[in-house]
Amino acid sequence: MTASIIDGKAFAAGLRARIADHAAAFEQAAGRKAGLAVVLVGEDPASQVYVRSKGKATLECGMNSFEHKLPADADEATLLALVEQLNADPAVDGILVQLPLPAHLDEQKVIATINPDKDVDGFHVTNAGRLAVGLPGFVPCTPLGCLMLLKDQLGNLSGLDAVVIGRSNIVGKPMAQLLLAESCTVTIAHSRTKNLEDVVRRADIVVAAVGRPEMVKGSWIKPGATVIDVGINRLPPAEGESKGRLVGDVDYAQTLEVAGAVTPVPGGVGPMTIAVLLRNALVAAHRNAGVALADGAL
């Protein structure tokens, strides 16, 4: 069997085009553009790239982008004061603080300071709680992007066995909640899970989010299963290469031989993260401005 390749880049481009249409309609209705503020602390190279991409994508969708950069040694009070200022700014519909933060800053405290109704990352405990009990709120971008790809690939997920490998607050836990809400039978596996291979082999859906390069082997995958690879790991450069290759948490070549469908790295889940962020920001703008957005429009 050769698996279908789930093209996250193409799906994200389609979503971004729909967001741009709705952003134009929002501007007409509200008399202003939707606005997304992104805060970057420090000079982590990957974070700089992601923040630049977010700003560019926001502008391309016809929304305002507000970028705030603080030095790596910025103190907590300065960062919290900036978040409070953005909470109070009516031009800002969504606020995102790029993670990871420098080690001296308390991520949970910073996230807790963001107004939950502007928390387009869906990391605030209020939004985590809303997701857990099935109330409307903001859902973290990466897992929501994975769910969109899964529904596009499989249609109705009800009754399917799903394994989420990884239990982070940002991906693993919300992913499991989303799959449960779709009536999947969900297992969350992690570093202490016994017989991980057997657990994975039972699953119709595998979501790998562990941050370990090519850990999930093709022999672990049930034939025909759908595999979503959230990992983005850079291998050490091979001889003659200036940069190492990007790989996921799944052994892609082996998985292609067994699975029904699989996301590549790059070009799978990664592009969905930014597209869903724009979607969440536009949803926030509609809610903040009291402008209706049809259910399921985005």
Which residues does the annotation place in the binding site for NADP(+)?
166-168, 232
CB 151 within 8 A of CB 181: no
Which CB atom, from 94 or from 271, has the smaller least distance to ligand LMY7XDAE?
Answer: 271
Contact between 263 and ligand LMY7XDAE (CB under 6 A)? no
Please choose, from the candidates 251, 228, 233, 271, the residue with its C-alpha nearest in 3D space to the C-alpha of residue 6. 228
Q: Residues 148 to 207: which contact ligand LMY7XDAE by CB under 6 A?
A: none
Please choose, from the candidates 121, 139, 125, 119, the residue with its C-alpha nearest in 3D space to the C-alpha of residue 181. 139
List, in order, residues 6 or more apart from 109 with CB less than 8 Å away: 76, 80
User: Is 295 one of the annotated active-site residues of the chain?
Assistant: no
User: Is 249 one of the annotated active-site residues of the chain?
Assistant: no
Contact between 211 and ligand LMY7XDAE (CB under 6 A)? no
By CB under 6 A, name the one of 270, 278, 286, 298 that touches ligand LMY7XDAE.
270
* Structure tokens belonging to residue 233: 């790991």
Q: Residue 54's CB: how many other CB atoms inside 10 A? A: 22
CA angle 78, 276, 72 (to 5 degrees): 25
* DSSP state, residue 130: H
User: Is 229 one of the annotated active-site residues of the chain?
Assistant: no
Type and span of the H or E element at 96: strand 94-97
* Structure tokens belonging to residue 35: 């606005």
User: In the complex, which residue's CB is closest to ligand LMY7XDAE?
Assistant: 270
Which CB atom, from 262 or from 265, has the smaller least distance to ligand LMY7XDAE?
Answer: 265
Distance separating alpha carbons of residues 101 and 124, to the nearest angstrom: 16
By CB under 6 A, name the one of 29, 99, 112, 215 that touches ligand LMY7XDAE.
99
Q: Count of residues for the chain?
A: 298
CB of 185 to ligand LMY7XDAE, least distance (A): 27
Q: Which of 93, 119, 121, 249 is catalytic?
A: 121
CB 41 within 8 A of CB 74: yes
Contact between 280 and ligand LMY7XDAE (CB under 6 A)? no
Place of tokens 């970028």: 67
By CB under 6 A, name the one of 30, 168, 266, 291 that touches ligand LMY7XDAE.
266
Which CB atom, from 107 or from 257, has the smaller least distance to ligand LMY7XDAE?
Answer: 107
* Structure tokens belonging to residue 207: 């979501």
CB of 209 to ligand LMY7XDAE, least distance (A): 11
Please choose, from the candidates 160, 133, 138, 157, the residue with its C-alpha nearest in 3D space to the C-alpha of residue 147. 157
Which CB atom, from 104 or from 234, has the smaller least distance to ligand LMY7XDAE?
Answer: 234
Contact between 82 and ligand LMY7XDAE (CB under 6 A)? no
Contact between 246 and ligand LMY7XDAE (CB under 6 A)? yes
By CB under 6 A, name the one of 58, 65, 255, 273 that touches ligand LMY7XDAE.
273
Type and span of the H or E element at 36: strand 35-41
Binding site listing: 166-168, 232
Residues at the contact surface with ligand LMY7XDAE, assessed by CB under 6 A: 50, 96-99, 121, 141-142, 232, 246, 265-267, 270-271, 273-274
Q: Which residues are marked as active site? A: 54, 98, 121
